[in-house]
């Protein structure tokens, strides 16, 4: 029985006897393959390093790819013999465009540290000739002084960055490879031995980076730390720089191909802030659209929803009108002894049909920090991540907030609620499956509220790594490891050439970023705490209450309705939501529907009973007067 050291979730390719030869034959990229044995203790211990390496060089895949092959698997016995694998692990490099059978070049060095292996990958790529070099791989050799100086004053379509470094440094080549999948930026390297160049550019320390802008201006690149990750992050985040479009993807994509220019609707925002309007739009979408696919809630679904409402009612640092609405919803759910609740009843409460003063959740979908460059991108899933980060941070800052609830003193309260919400209600079932796999792997190890904040941050970054370059990535908001150095320089460090997080600083940053003081009220609609019917303009611009897609199950994936719902998830504008309207006259209250005929009958009966009561009143009054006159008349 063998154990699997690597899974499809890891950022590497799992090869087998069926795929090895055809993968390597005339491959457009070079390969580094680890032949391992799943029973070998050293291979087991080494597997985290190999996975980290694969993640670290993920952006290099157009030049060199990382693979693994398990020689302990019965199916692979023969192929390992054919490749003369005698010891485990064995590392083999394979050149790009190899057309004859080749067992690869073995790496024999004793140092298998990540940085060493990564540098060998760079050397191996440089050993390719001009003819067999992978086509997208830019030249890795240093440029000369004249070459660089000729860029001065030139206008161009793209930025050009020059990394100036010592001859034995790998930073320049690594940054060149990191930026390979990005458009509108080119990276070159030059050596510190080019004294005239250093003098001209005013560079005194190395490594350093110099940036030539498309408009012909140029300056030293201003990064907080002169490290590979800082240079690469800075360049990836330059305005207009984005990933090249992906033609084929294997990841679950949440996007529909609906694109829209950025145009005048674009709202300026600050990436270092969280926007209340995103959180409120997310809550609106969750309560009035996502949940609407469930006609009734019962059993586990109902419990999940109750826990979700408990967590948001107690922890959401929102406006009073929204918090009061959530608290009312919670009170109602807790006091109701029902084990089955019609969704319409929840909707009536979300819409404050009882007209309780001071309760209000806007029905407008408006994304600001979560707006995408097209309506098909970002929006709802972005707001959901943001909401849960805010909730984990609130739970850590106010440990007593969940007192007297079923979730009291549970460090996992928010994470478990999120896990169950995502698994039960979140429209993207693939996402739910991935999230569940991550939760099963490590959520139980979370023992404190602060660790919960960090767990969610770590898992979100894992999702970012997996989705980088996928169709659901907004080119204007590339999926990077977050927080980027511009947001939190102190969060980033380097140890033996490997980027590492300073988790203490990350926690401090997360608490500040997702803390109440950093939530901007900008763009929030003026609240209408005085309950009342929505204005006609609001009604037109709102998600129609009670008029949403319904049914016991979400729409099957890929169906037109499902895609339509996914469109809504991405960031449906008011017009889109209005398009979901169906005609449904009358009024609903606590889940009971009244038609217009019912309403007219009520009014009619009310009027008739009033007239009847008045008639009775006059009748008895007249009779009692007559009776008094008869009683008091003196006998004659």
Ligand X SMILES: Cc1cc2nc3c(=O)[nH]c(=O)nc-3n(C[C@H](O)[C@H](O)[C@H](O)COP(=O)(O)OP(=O)(O)OC[C@H]3O[C@@H](n4cnc5c(N)ncnc54)[C@H](O)[C@@H]3O)c2cc1C
Beta-carbon contacts of 66 under 8 Å, excluding residues fewer than 6 positions away, are: 11, 12, 13, 31, 32, 33, 34, 50, 53, 54, 57
**Residue 324 or 513 with smaller CB distance to ligand X:** 513
**Residue 88 or 455 with smaller CB distance to ligand X:** 455
**Residue 185 or 370 with smaller CB distance to ligand X:** 370
**Residue 66 or 253 with smaller CB distance to ligand X:** 253
CA 502 to chain centre: 22
Q: Which of 136, 252, 423, 534 binds ligand X (CB under 6 A)?
A: 252
Site for ligand X contains 461 (CB under 6 A) = yes
Residue 589: C-alpha distances to residues 219, 345, 350, 353, 584 (Å)? 65, 7, 12, 7, 14
Choose the stretch contacting ligand X; rule: CB under 6 A; options: 139-147, 315-323, 430-438, 611-619. 430-438
Choose the stretch contacting ligand X; rule: CB under 6 A; options: 129-137, 394-402, 459-467, 549-557. 459-467
Q: Which of 460, 511, 522, 561 binds ligand X (CB under 6 A)?
A: 460
**Residue 20 or 382 with smaller CB distance to ligand X:** 382
**Does a cis peptide bond (omega within 30 degrees of 0) precede residue 114?**
no
| Nearest approach, Cβ of residue 345 and ligand X (Å) | 27
Q: In whole angstroms, what is the distance from residue 568 CA to residue 379 CA?
A: 9
In the residue annotation, 602 being an active-site residue is answered as no
Q: In whole angstroms, what is the distance from residue 277 CA to residue 284 CA?
A: 10
Site for ligand X contains 389 (CB under 6 A) = yes
- Using alpha carbons, select from 571, 13, 15, 537 the residue that is nearest to residue 260: 571
Site for ligand X contains 71 (CB under 6 A) = no
How is residue 270 annotated by DSSP? -
Choose the stretch contacting ligand X; rule: CB under 6 A; options: 246-254, 256-264, 334-342, 585-593. 246-254
Q: Which of 58, 319, 434, 451 binds ligand X (CB under 6 A)?
A: 434
Residue pair 63/120 in contact (Cβ under 8 Å)? The answer is no
Residue pair 450/396 in contact (Cβ under 8 Å)? The answer is yes
Q: Which of 282, 342, 381, 544 binds ligand X (CB under 6 A)?
A: 381
Residue pair 479/501 in contact (Cβ under 8 Å)? The answer is no
Beta-carbon contacts of 280 under 8 Å, excluding residues fewer than 6 positions away, are: 318, 319, 322, 361, 362, 524
Q: In whole angstroms, what is the distance from residue 261 CA to residue 375 CA?
A: 9
Q: Which of 71, 125, 368, 384 binds ligand X (CB under 6 A)?
A: 384
Site for ligand X contains 477 (CB under 6 A) = yes
**Residue 24 or 418 with smaller CB distance to ligand X:** 418
Look-up: residue for tokens 């679950």?
252
Output the CA torsion sign for 67, 73, 74, 78.
positive
In the residue annotation, 43 being an active-site residue is answered as yes
Q: In whole angstroms, what is the distance from residue 626 CA to residue 225 CA?
A: 104
**Residue 332 or 482 with smaller CB distance to ligand X:** 482
Q: In whole angstroms, what is the distance from residue 351 CA to residue 137 CA?
A: 56
Site for ligand X contains 382 (CB under 6 A) = yes
Site for ligand X contains 378 (CB under 6 A) = yes
Site for ligand X contains 492 (CB under 6 A) = no
**Residue 177 or 315 with smaller CB distance to ligand X:** 315
**Residue 180 or 438 with smaller CB distance to ligand X:** 438
Site for ligand X contains 557 (CB under 6 A) = no
Site for ligand X contains 465 (CB under 6 A) = no
Q: Which of 373, 424, 464, 527 binds ligand X (CB under 6 A)?
A: 464
Q: Which of 6, 36, 50, 435 binds ligand X (CB under 6 A)?
A: 435
Q: Which of 472, 524, 543, 588 binds ligand X (CB under 6 A)?
A: 472
Site for ligand X contains 173 (CB under 6 A) = no
**Residue 353 or 420 with smaller CB distance to ligand X:** 420
| Nearest approach, Cβ of residue 515 and ligand X (Å) | 13
Site for ligand X contains 502 (CB under 6 A) = no
Q: Active-site residue among 43, 71, 370, 428?
A: 43
Which of the residues 407 through 426 are near ligand X (CB under 6 A)?
422
**Residue 39 or 509 with smaller CB distance to ligand X:** 509
| Nearest approach, Cβ of residue 459 and ligand X (Å) | 8
Beta-carbon contacts of 624 under 8 Å, excluding residues fewer than 6 positions away, are: none
| Nearest approach, Cβ of residue 480 and ligand X (Å) | 8
Interface size with ligand X, residues (CB under 6 A)? 29
Choose the stretch contacting ligand X; rule: CB under 6 A; options: 201-209, 248-256, 305-313, 528-536. 248-256
| Nearest approach, Cβ of residue 509 and ligand X (Å) | 9
Residue pair 183/175 in contact (Cβ under 8 Å)? The answer is no
Look-up: residue for tokens 């161009």?
156
Beta-carbon contacts of 579 under 8 Å, excluding residues fewer than 6 positions away, are: none
CA 217 to chain centre: 35
**Residue 161 or 287 with smaller CB distance to ligand X:** 287
For residue 192 the two structure tokens come to 């510190």
Strand 159-165, strand 185-191: pairing: parallel
User: Angle, to 10 degrees, between the axis of helix 380-397 and the axis of helix 299-315?
Assistant: 60
Output the CA torsion sign for 274, 276, 282, 286.
positive
Q: In whole angstroms, what is the distance from residue 269 CA to residue 476 CA?
A: 14
For residue 378 the two structure tokens come to 């970002």
Q: At 398, give phi and psi (nearest 5°).
A: -130, 75
Site for ligand X contains 393 (CB under 6 A) = no
- Using alpha carbons, select from 380, 304, 388, 310 the residue that is nearest to residue 341: 304
| Nearest approach, Cβ of residue 475 and ligand X (Å) | 10
For residue 358 the two structure tokens come to 């001071």
Q: At 35, give phi and psi (nearest 5°).
A: -90, 115
Site for ligand X contains 501 (CB under 6 A) = no
Site string for ligand X, 332-371 (x = CB under 6 A): --------------------------------------x-
Site for ligand X contains 254 (CB under 6 A) = yes
Q: How many other C-beta atoms can be found within 10 angstroms of the C-beta atom of residue 501? A: 17
| Nearest approach, Cβ of residue 469 and ligand X (Å) | 11
**DSSP output for 307-324:** HHHHHHHHH----HHHHH
Instruction: Provide Rg for the chain, Cα atoms.
Output: 32
Q: Which of 235, 312, 431, 507 binds ligand X (CB under 6 A)?
A: 431
Site for ligand X contains 385 (CB under 6 A) = yes
Which of the residues 186 through 215 are near ligand X (CB under 6 A)?
none
For residue 410 the two structure tokens come to 């549970």
Q: Which residues bind ligand X (CB under 6 A)?
A: 251-254, 370, 378, 381-382, 384-386, 389, 422, 428, 430-431, 434-435, 457, 460-461, 463-464, 467, 470, 472, 474, 477, 482
Active-site annotation, residues: 40, 43
């Amino acid at each position: 029985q063998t154990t699997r050291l690597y899974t499809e979730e890891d950022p590497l390719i799992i090869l087998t006897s069926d795929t090895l030869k055809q993968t390597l034959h005339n491959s457009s990229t070079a390969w580094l393959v680890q032949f391992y044995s799943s029973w070998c203790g050293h291979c087991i211990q080494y597997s985290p390093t190999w996975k980290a390496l694969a993640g670290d060089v993920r952006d290099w895949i157009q030049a060199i790819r990382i693979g693994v092959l398990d020689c302990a698997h019965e199916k692979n016995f023969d192929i390992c013999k054919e490749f003369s694998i005698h010891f485990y692990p064995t590392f083999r490099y394979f050149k790009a465009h190899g057309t004859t059978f080749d067992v690869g070049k073995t790496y024999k060095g004793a140092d298998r540290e990540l940085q060493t292996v990564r540098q060998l990958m760079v050397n191996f790529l440089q050993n390719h000739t001009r003819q067999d070099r992978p086509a997208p791989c830019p030249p890795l050799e240093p440029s000369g002084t004249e070459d660089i100086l000729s860029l001065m004053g030139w206008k161009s379509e793209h930025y050009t960055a020059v990394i100036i470094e010592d001859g034995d440094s790998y930073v320049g080549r690594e940054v060149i490879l990191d930026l390979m999948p990005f458009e509108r930026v080119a990276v070159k390297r030059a050596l510190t031995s080019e004294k005239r160049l250093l003098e001209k550019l005013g560079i005194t320390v190395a490594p350093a980076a110099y940036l030539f802008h498309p408009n012909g201006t140029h300056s030293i690149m201003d990064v907080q730390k002169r490290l590979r990750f800082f240079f690469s992050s800075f360049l990836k985040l330059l305005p207009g720089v984005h990933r090249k479009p992906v033609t084929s993807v294997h990841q679950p994509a949440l996007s529909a191909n609906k694109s829209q220019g950025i145009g005048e609707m674009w709202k300026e925002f600050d990436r270092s802030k969280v926007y209340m309007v995103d959180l409120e739009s997310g809550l609106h979408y969750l309560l009035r659209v996502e949940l609407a696919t469930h006609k009734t809630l019962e059993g586990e679904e109902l419990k999940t929803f109750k826990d979700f409402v408990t967590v948001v009612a107690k922890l959401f640092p929102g406006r009073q009108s929204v918090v009061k609405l959530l608290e009312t919803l919670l009170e109602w759910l807790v006091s109701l002894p029902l084990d089955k609740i019609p969704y319409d009843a929840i909707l009536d409460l979300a819409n404050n049909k009882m007209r309780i003063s001071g309760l209000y959740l806007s029905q407008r979908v408006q994304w600001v920090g979560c707006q995408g460059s097209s309506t098909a991108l970002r929006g709802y899933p972005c707001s959901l991540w943001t909401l849960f980060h805010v909730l984990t941070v609130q739970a850590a800052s106010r440990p007593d907030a969940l007192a007297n609830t079923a979730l009291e003193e549970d460090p996992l309260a928010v994470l478990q609620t999120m896990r169950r919400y995502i698994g039960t209600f979140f429209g993207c079932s693939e996402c739910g499956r991935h999230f569940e796999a991550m939760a099963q792997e490590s959520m139980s190890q979370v023992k404190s509220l602060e660790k919960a904040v960090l767990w969610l941050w770590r898992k979100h970054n894992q999702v970012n790594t997996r989705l980088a370059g996928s169709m659901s990535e907004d080119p204007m908001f590339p999926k990077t490891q977050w927080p980027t150095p511009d947001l939190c320089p102190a969060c980033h460090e380097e140890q033996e050439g490997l980027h590492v997080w300073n988790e203490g600083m990350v926690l401090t940053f997360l608490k500040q970023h997702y803390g109440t003081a950093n939530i901007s009220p900008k763009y929030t609609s003026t609240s209408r705490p005085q309950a009342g019917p929505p204005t006609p303009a609001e009604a037109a611009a709102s998600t129609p209450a009670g008029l949403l897609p319904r049914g016991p199950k979400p729409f099957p994936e890929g169906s037109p309705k499902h895609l339509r719902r996914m469109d809504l998830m991405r960031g449906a504008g008011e017009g889109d939501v209005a398009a979901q309207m169906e005609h449904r006259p009358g009024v609903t209250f606590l889940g009971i529907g009244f038609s217009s005929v019912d309403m007219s009958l009520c009014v009619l009966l009310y009027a008739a009973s009033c007239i009847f009561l008045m008639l009775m009143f006059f009748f008895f009054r007249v009779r009692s007067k007559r009776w008094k006159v008869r009683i008091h008349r003196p006998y004659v």
